[in-house]
Structure 1
Amino acid sequence: MSLQFSVLASGSTGNATYVETDQHSLLVDAGFSGKQMEALFQQIGRKINKLSGILVTHEHSDHIKGLGILARKYNLPVYANEKTWQAMEGLIGAIHPDQKFIFGTGTVQSFGGIDVESFGVSHDAAEPMFYTFHHEGKKLALITDTGYVSDRMKGIIHNADAFVFESNHDVDMLRMGHYPWSVKRRILSDVGHVSNEDAALAMTDVIGDNTKRIYLAHLSKDNNMKELARMSVQQTLEGKGYMPGEQFDLYDTDPKTPTPLVLV
């Protein structure tokens, strides 16, 4: 039995992550068109019609753009908390009641051998939440779309074998960029997105002996670059006594191309 995953694509234009064991597979978010989602699945050699379900983090379009299309076309169950379901009304089209499931924030649901724990984050959505996946002693933690990482969040994701961690923006690039000040203020706020440096500082509180892989996710296309994010995170971690490349590895994610399927 194995726990594998691929960040199908991640960035300000769309987000989707695939998680599987030998018996079950789950999709977290579907932030691309139906055709784009099908193409991403083809790239990792998997089929959407084999999914056990789709887990939704929140109702922003870069996380649900293809949700309704996939759910209807492949008759897939969809899991979200009540407030997110309410916020998605009118955004994803009609979903048959038999396909709609409530996954409350701060609860655990099991899909075969995968135990999925949801936890709230701080973002300007109805009730945003992310997930940790537990299987055969392995743990995968997904956390993006949060303005900060609280002690509560850190306790839930601590010592994961693999992290998909928000590293959204470089603060200087954001401040000097073309966005209106209202948008900059929103991104920098406690309900916005985590910067490269703040992501790394949060990582220093959650990296454990089991941690082997950290994927830098949800990079802004206008206010960040892969090389800059990785350099900033690595320098901050090294300043706190952590050694990327020795204790664990840092990986990029891409807004269009999946990461290889890997064992947790």
Structure 2
Amino acid sequence: MSLQFSVLASGSTGNAFYLETDDHAFLVDAGLSGKAIEGLMAQIDRHLDKLDGIFVTHEHSDHIKGLGVLARKYELPVYANEKTWTAMEGHIGKIDSGQKFVFPMESVKSFGSLDVESFGVSHDAAEPMFYVFHYNGRKLALITDTGYVSDRMKGIIRSANAFVFESNHDVGMLQMGRYPWNIKRRILSDIGHVSNEDAALAMTDVIGDETSRIYLAHLSQDNNMKELARMSVQQTLAAKGLLAGETFDLFDTDPKKPTPLAAV
């Protein structure tokens, strides 16, 4: 019995995540065109007609761009909380009422042996939430699009076997970059995105003895680089005695290329 996953795409241009158990398969978010997501799935030798549904984190376009198209084409159930459903109206087209399911924040839904736990994050959306997946004693945690990682969030995601963790920007690059000040202020705020350093500091509180894989996600294409994010995170973790490459490994994600399927 295995829980496998791939970060199909991650970044400000679009986000989508795939996971499967022996009995079920789901997407989390569909923030690229339907055609692009079909292509990404093909790269990991998986097909959307095998999905059991899509979990939505929040209504920003880089998370729901292809949601309506895929839901209609493949007749997929879609799971989101009530405020997110309201905020998505007018952005995803008509979805049949039989495909619309409310997934309250801070709750658990079970699909066979897979338990899906939702939890709130701090972001400038209606009611943003992310997910922890529990299967056969294994735990996979997704957390991006949050301005900070609270103690409550840490308690929920702590000691996951694998993390997909936001490492959005380098503060220096952002401050010196081309973005207007109001956008910089939003990104740096408590309802924006987590920086490389803050992500690593949060990781030091949640990495457990069974943690084996950490994926650095939602990197800004303008205010970060894969090498910089990885180096910054590694240095901060090492200062706390957590050495990447020993008990756990760090992995990059990409806005246009899926990560290889990996087992938790």
TM-score category, normalised to shorter length: over 0.9
Distance 1:156 1:114 in 2: 16
Gaps of 5+ in 2: none
Deviation of 1:4 after TM superposition, in Å, equals 0.4
- Structure 1 stretches of 4+ moved >2 Å: none
Q: Helix, strand or coil: the match of 1:216? A: strand
Give the AA of the match of 2:166: E
Q: What is the one-letter code of the residue matched to 1:94? A: K
Inter-partner Cα distance in structure 1 for 2:158 and 2:52: 26
For 1:143-162, list aligned pairs within 5 A: 143-162=143-162
User: Equivalents in 2 of 1:222, 1:112: separation in Å?
Assistant: 41
Q: Are positions 1:124 and 2:124 aligned together? A: yes
Whole-angstrom CA distance in 2 between matches of 1:96 and 1:110: 22
Report what 1:187 is aligned to: 187
Shift of 1:111: 1.3
Q: Aligned with 1:19: secondary structure?
A: strand
CA shift digits 1:20-50 (9 cap, x unpaired): 0011001000000011010001001111011
Offset of residue 240 of structure 1:
1.1
> How far has the Cα of 1:17 moved from its partner?
0.4
For the pair 1:107 / 2:107, whether they are aligned, the reply is yes
SS at match of 1:148: coil
Determine the structure 1 residue equivalent to 2:221.
221
For 1:94, the equivalent position in structure 2 comes to 94
TM-score normalised to structure 1 length: 1.00
Q: Given residue 201 of structure 1, which amino acid in structure 2 is its aligned partner?
A: L
- 1:27 corresponds to 2:27: yes
Corresponding position of 1:5: 5
User: Over residues 134-187 of structure 1, what are the superposed CA-to-partner deviations in whole Å (9 max), with x where a residue is unaligned?
Assistant: 000000000000000000000000000000000000000000000000000000
For 1:160, the aligned partner's letter is A
Q: Which runs of 5+ in 1 are unaligned?
A: none
Matches within 5 A, 1:54-93: 54-93=54-93
1:142 alignment counterpart: 142
Which secondary structure state, in structure 1, belongs to the residue aligned with residue 154 of structure 2? Answer: helix
TM-score by length of structure 2 reads 1.00
What amino acid is aligned across from residue 42 of structure 1 in structure 2? A
Paired amino acid for 1:175 = Q
Partner Cα distance (1:112, 1:92) in 2: 29
Q: How many residues align?
A: 264
Quick one: distance in 1 between partners of 2:19 and 2:154? 21
Residue 251 of structure 1 aligns with which residue? 251
Q: State the 1:12 CA deviation.
A: 0.9
Root-mean-square deviation (CA, aligned residues, Å) is 0.4
Query: Which residue in 2 is equivalent to 1:208?
Result: 208
Please give the per-residue CA displacement for 1:93-134, whole angstroms capped at 9, x wherever unaligned: 000000000000000001122100000000000000000000
Distance 2:35 2:136 in 1: 34
Secondary structure of the residue that 2:256 maps to in structure 1? coil
